[in-house]
């Protein structure tokens, strides 16, 4: 049920400061795929998501119809599948770069780059003095965010980011314009650039002289310009308030028609099992509970109930970085 208010039935739940959310914004904009957005608060509580019955606390989430997708890795994989390349929606991924794309995504999402980038945000940023924000992020990461600990960890985080810059410089050493050696920006750039784009302007200049990583800085600037143009281009993104987004989701049909549990899956769960689902790397204190609808090597899907009205919706998470187990308590 696509409409003028919700193009392509897509709603992106995010906030502008989120570098993970930027992965999805750039992807949709660069592919010219119109969508709606529902802006969320920077910290908990998030009443719109709570009303949908969602306990998962990370940003972004993306709904397509009555299916809600968690985690940028699964969101991008779903969009790649649901929106194959056409003249209206040009391709962003390059078939010859599938392996590189996957490795770059592992590099920035799994190899600790995001947490190092977050630790290399200047400790004197106003938000880093906001007690509510710091407490919220302690819940999110399970580690200390006190001002004293941030100041202590800052130099080491910068050293780690320099190490990551060396890797980027090596990848760009042959003078290529884009990281996958493509003529135009591609999905490989989105996978590689997002944490660095987030912090680049805030890194101390003396620790990151331009001549130490000339290709990296040129690539970062090239991407920044391209991303800015993409963000302004295409149809204006429709902005929905929480109630409009919830109403749309509850009235929509399921986008994913391919359900079913893989009987050979090593975790040995069955369709209809009551299960708990949560991410294992961050936001792990926030668990969802529901009936298992789908389990493949790449994806787990639960049917959950909205808080008001008790309507069923489905939440999808990737297998990597998430745990799904039989729930102890009955709903
Ligand atoms: N692996 C997740 C990580 C998402 C993530 O860590 N997002 C950050 C924002 S950039 C977050 O949720 N921070 C805590 C919050 O906003 O509640 C993904 O790819 O979506």
Q: At 89, is the secondary structure helix, strand, or coil?
A: coil
Measured in angstroms, how far is the CA atom of residue 263 from the centroid of ligand 1? 31
- Determine the residue of 18, 75, 132, 284 to mutate for testing ligand 1's pocket, defined as the one with the most ligand atoms within 8 A of the Cβ atom: 18
Atom of ligand 1 nearest to the CA of 75: 20
- The answer to whether 167 touches 186, Cβ cutoff 8 Å, is no
Q: Atom 1 of ligand 1 has which residue's CA nearest to it?
A: 71
Atom of ligand 1 nearest to the CA of 282: 6
Atom of ligand 1 nearest to the CA of 58: 12
Measured in angstroms, how far is the CA atom of residue 97 from the centroid of ligand 1? 26
Measured in angstroms, how far is the CA atom of residue 313 from the centroid of ligand 1? 22
CB atoms within 10 A of CB 23: 23
Q: Atom 6 of ligand 1 has which residue's CA nearest to it?
A: 58
Quote the pLDDT of residue 330: 52
Measured in angstroms, how far is the CA atom of residue 59 from the centroid of ligand 1? 4
Q: Atom 10 of ligand 1 has which residue's CA nearest to it?
A: 18
Atom of ligand 1 nearest to the CA of 42: 16
Which residues, 6+ apart, have CB-to-CB distance to 187 below 8 Å? 27, 76, 92, 93, 94, 97, 101, 180
Cα-based distances in Å from 296 to 70, 134, 267, 324:
15, 37, 11, 12
Measured in angstroms, how far is the CA atom of residue 320 from the centroid of ligand 1? 15
Query: In order of start, what are the domains of the chain with their CATH numbers?
Result: 7-87+236-326 (3.40.30.110), 95-230 (1.20.1050.10)
Q: Atom 13 of ligand 1 has which residue's CA nearest to it?
A: 58
Measured in angstroms, how far is the CA atom of residue 61 from the centroid of ligand 1? 9
Task: Give the phi and the psi of residue 165 in degrees, each rounded to 5.
Answer: -60, -35
* Spatial CA neighbour of 176 closest among 222, 136, 141, 211: 222
Quote the pLDDT of residue 308: 84
Instruction: Tell me how far apart the terminal alpha carbons of the chain are, to the nearest angstrom.
Output: 31
Q: In the Cβ-directed half-sphere of 313, how many Cα atoms lie within 13 Å?
A: 29
Atom of ligand 1 nearest to the CA of 17: 10
Measured in angstroms, how far is the CA atom of residue 155 from the centroid of ligand 1? 23
Measured in angstroms, how far is the CA atom of residue 174 from the centroid of ligand 1? 33
- Ligand 1 is surrounded, with C-beta below 6 A, by 18-20, 57-59, 71-73, 109, 140, 282
**pLDDT averaged over 10-residue windows placed end to end, the chain, 331 residues:** 83 97 97 97 98 98 98 98 97 96 97 96 94 97 95 97 98 98 98 98 95 98 96 90 97 96 97 98 98 98 94 98 88 49
């Amino acid at each position: 049920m696509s409409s003028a208010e919700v193009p392509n039935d897509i709603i992106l739940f995010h906030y502008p400061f989120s570098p993970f959310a930027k992965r999805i914004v750039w992807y949709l904009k660069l592919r010219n795929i119109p969508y709606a957005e529902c802006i969320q608060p920077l910290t908990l509580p998030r009443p719109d998501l709570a009303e949908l019955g969602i306990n998962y606390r990370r940003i972004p989430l993306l709904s397509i119809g009555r299916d809600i997708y968690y985690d940028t890795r699964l969101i991008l994989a779903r969009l790649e599948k649901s929106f194959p390349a056409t003249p209206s929606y040009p391709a962003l991924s390059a078939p010859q770069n599938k392996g590189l794309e996957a490795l770059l995504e592992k590099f920035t999402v799994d190899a600790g780059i995001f947490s190092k980038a977050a630790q290399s945000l200047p400790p004197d940023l106003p938000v880093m003095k906001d007690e509510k924000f710091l407490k919220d992020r302690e819940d999110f990461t399970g580690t200390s965010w006190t001002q004293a600990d941030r100041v202590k960890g800052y130099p080491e985080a910068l050293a780690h980011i320099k190490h990551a810059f060396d890797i980027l410089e090596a990848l760009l050493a042959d003078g290529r314009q884009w990281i996958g050696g493509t003529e135009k920006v591609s999905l490989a750039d989105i996978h590689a650039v997002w944490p660095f784009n987030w912090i680049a302007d805030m890194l101390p200049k003396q620790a990151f002289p331009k001549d130490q990583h000339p290709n990296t800085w040129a690539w970062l600037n090239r991407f920044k310009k391209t991303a800015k143009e993409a963000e302004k281009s295409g149809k204006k993104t429709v902005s929905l308030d929480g109630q409009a987004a919830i109403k749309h989701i509850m009235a929509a049909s399921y986008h994913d028609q391919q359900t079913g549990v893989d009987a050979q899956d090593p975790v040995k769960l069955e369709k209809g099992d009551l299960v708990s689902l949560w991410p294992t790397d961050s936001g792990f204190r926030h668990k969802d509970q529901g009936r298992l609808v789908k389990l493949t090597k790449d994806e787990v899907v639960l049917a959950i109930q909205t808080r008001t009205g008790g309507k069923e919706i489905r939440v999808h998470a990737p297998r990597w970085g998430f745990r799904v187990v039989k729930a102890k308590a009955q709903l």
